[in-house]
């Protein structure tokens, strides 16, 4: 029974919503009973079809590539067997109740023939992909699209069934989208090594090799996460080579824009001489999300602009990321700039630092504390 339940779950997962809607349009009738009969026949027949494929897959999994042919043929042969069984059963059923047999045998014979069409997602499509090979999957997709268009045209012209044509086109669209997703997942997996090598080349100063690895990944149809990672690497390489405009352009291609690394964006903006935009890039991010280097950069940017209050606020907001040593440096800078009150305020706010005790901070900032008590500014 376990195999049966697995096949039921597989069938429910594989029958996508669009396919069910299209199938309902094909079999819809004015009478509710006929429509229900059509959907029941559809479900039972396709369930048996998929159950046969599931059993064949488990039984012949050791055959390797040859298993694809066996599994793909198991479904259509089961549909033909169901149709033959219904034909044999027809003489024993009252003629007034035989209409459901006509539904069943017609659907099973038609489903067996349609499923053998070389359309991606159908059994015939699986056979075609096994014959062509995974490396030429683009050829199988083109063959699938051509077959879908031809079959849909024949359904309208010869069979006078626009509904069947709609079903074929819907399945073809679903299969094409599925092929695109599989292709992207494949490219995402293949992109891991080139991106890792590009990062290693960058650290080793081999910029030409790093660029080539990134360019290769960007030429593929990858998912957004992989593409964004490649664009960030491209920006880092360009920034290292002082090609600031190229780094900026690479970051502008990241989608969505919220996925841009704020620290890298701030580095690029600062290199372009746009300090205010660099500060804004880091200030827009939540303080808790800034790492140590980003927090240091934010403090330095305020200091370079002579904004000591901004320095104190940035250090206070990011005290967890900076740590006691960096906070001491900031406090010293504030004192040297004549802003001892800001330094004392930073000290008091830093008493809540989780990794360093208050006593240690007071000892480290003893000079600042003395200045604050003396009221020196």
pLDDT in tens, 332-371: 899 899 898 898 888 888 765 444 444 544 555 555 545 4
Report how far residue 90's alpha carbon sits from residue 97's, in angstroms, rounded to the nearest whole number. 10
The 10s digit of each residue's pLDDT in 276-305 is 999 999 987 775 678 999 999 999 999 999
d(C-alpha 316, C-alpha 344), whole Å: 11
What pLDDT, on a 0 to 100 scale, did the predictor assign at position 365?
53
Who contacts 97 (Cβ-Cβ below 8 Å, separation ≥6)?
none
The confidence band for 3, taking pLDDT boundaries of 50, 70 and 90, is very low
What is the Cα–Cα distance from 127 to 137, expressed in whole angstroms? 12
The pLDDT of residue 17 is: 45
Sign of the C-alpha dihedral, residues 13, 15, 18, 24? negative
Give residue 328's pLDDT band: very low, low, confident or very high (50, 70, 90): confident
User: Could you give the CA distance from residue 241 to residue 258 in angstroms, rounded to a whole number?
Assistant: 25
N-to-C CA span, the chain: 83
69 touches 56 (CB < 8 A): no
- The Cβ of residue 228 has, within 10 Å, a number of other Cβ atoms equal to 19
Distances (CA, A) of 141 to 118, 125, 165, 178, 284: 9, 9, 19, 11, 45
Confidence (pLDDT) at 32 = 64
Block residue for tokens 């259509």: 76
Burial of residue 346 (number of CB atoms within 10 Å: 0-12, 13-18, 19+): buried
CA distances from 90 to 18, 102, 205 (A): 33, 9, 79
Q: What are the angstrom distances between the C-alpha of 38 and each of 27, 45, 155?
A: 6, 10, 19
Beta carbons of 188 and 226 less than 8 angstroms apart: yes
Q: What is the mean pLDDT of residues 120-146?
A: 77
User: Looking at residue 183, what is its pLDDT?
Assistant: 84
C-alpha to C-alpha distance for 287 and 315, rounded to whole angstroms: 10
Query: Is the pLDDT score of 113 beyond 80?
Result: yes
Of 6-20, 30-44, 243-257, 301-315, minimum mean pLDDT range: 6-20
CA distance 83 to 313: 78
pLDDT average, residue stretch 62-81: 77
Return the closest-CA partner of residue 227 out of 235, 219, 218. 218
Residue 72, pLDDT > 90, answer no
pLDDT value of position 266: 96
Q: What is the pLDDT of residue 20?
A: 52
Better pLDDT: 168 or 264? 264
Nearest Cα to 139, choosing from 150, 126, 124, 129?
129
Residue with tokens 């600042």: 368
Using the 8-state DSSP alphabet, how is residue 306 labeled? T
pLDDT, averaged across the chain: 80
Contact criterion met (CB below 8 Å) for 340 and 347: no
pTM confidence score: 0.64
pLDDT confidence of residue 37: 67
Q: What's the pLDDT score for residue 59?
A: 76
- CB of 263 closer than 8 Å to CB of 282: yes
Instruction: Give the tokens for residue 112.
Output: 């067996």
Residue 13 has pLDDT above 60, yes or no: no
Q: What is the mean pLDDT of residues 260-278?
A: 95
């Amino acid at each position: 029974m376990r195999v049966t339940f697995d096949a039921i779950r597989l069938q429910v997962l594989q029958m996508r919503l669009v396919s069910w809607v299209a199938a309902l349009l094909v079999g819809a009738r004015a009478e509710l009973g006929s429509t229900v009969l059509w959907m029941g026949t559809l479900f039972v027949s396709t369930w048996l079809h998929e159950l046969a494929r599931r059993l064949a897959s488990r039984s012949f999994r050791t055959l390797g590539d040859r298993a694809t042919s066996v599994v793909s043929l198991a479904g259509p042969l089961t549909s033909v067997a169901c149709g033959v069984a219904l034909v044999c059963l027809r003489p024993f059923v009252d003629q007034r109740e035989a209409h459901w047999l006509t539904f069943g045998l017609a659907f099973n014979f038609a489903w067996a023939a349609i499923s053998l069409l070389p359309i991606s997602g159908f059994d015939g499509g699986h056979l075609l992909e096994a014959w062509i090979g995974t490396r030429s999957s683009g050829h199988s997709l083109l063959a699938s699209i051509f077959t879908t268009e031809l079959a849909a045209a024949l359904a309208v012209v010869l069979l006078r069934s626009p509904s069947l044509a709609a079903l074929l086109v819907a399945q073809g669209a679903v299969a094409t989208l599925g092929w695109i997703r599989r292709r992207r997942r494949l490219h995402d997996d293949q992109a891991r090594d080139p991106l890792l090598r590009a990062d290693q080349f960058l650290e080793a100063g081999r910029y030409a090799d790093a660029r080539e690895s990134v360019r290769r990944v960007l030429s593929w149809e990858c998912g957004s996460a992989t593409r964004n990672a490649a664009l960030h690497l491209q920006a880092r390489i360009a920034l290292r080579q002082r090609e600031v405009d190229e780094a900026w352009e690479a970051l502008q291609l990241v989608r969505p824009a919220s996925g841009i690394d704020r620290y890298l964006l701030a580095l690029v903006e600062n290199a372009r001489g746009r300090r205010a935009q660099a500060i804004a890039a880091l200030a827009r991010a939540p303080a808790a999300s800034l790492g140590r280097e980003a927090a240091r950069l934010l403090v330095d940017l305020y200091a370079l602009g002579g904004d000591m209050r901004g320095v104190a606020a940035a250090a206070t907001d990011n005290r967890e990321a900076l740590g006691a040593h960096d906070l001491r440096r900031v406090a010293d800078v504030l004192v040297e700039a004549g802003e001892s009150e800001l330094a004392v305020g930073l000290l008091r706010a830093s008493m809540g630092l989780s990794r360093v005790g208050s006593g240690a901070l007071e000892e480290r900032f003893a000079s600042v504390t003395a200045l604050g008590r003396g009221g020196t500014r």
